[in-house]
Amino acid sequence: MIMKKRTFTKEEKLKIIKEASEQGINNTLEKYGIYRASYYDWKKKLEEMGEEGFHHGMTPKL
């Protein structure tokens, strides 16, 4: 079975990151069906670039 790719809004990503920090990463990722790699990518972008990092195609400056 192929799962349809789900896109999350900036607000949803922020909510998920916050929820994971409060209620545990494993439970939160399972609840929303998110891969660990996606979660950590979002978290890294938030830490390095703030909320602006969630705009489509944004990558950290090297």
Tracing tokens 């990518």 back to the chain, one arrives at 41
In a domain, 3, yes or no: no
- Classify residue 60: in a domain, yes or no: no
pLDDT in tens, 18-61: 999 999 999 999 999 999 999 999 999 899 888 888 776 656 55
Answer whether residue 59 is part of any domain: no
> What pTM does this model have?
0.78
Q: How many domains does the chain have?
A: 1
How far is residue 10's CA from residue 16's CA, in Å, rounded to a whole number?
Answer: 10
Query: What's the pLDDT band for 11 if we cut at 50, 70, 90?
Result: very high
Query: Which among 35, 37, 36, 54 has a CA at the least distance from the CA of 45?
Result: 54
- Which residue range forms the structural domain that includes residue 35? 10-51
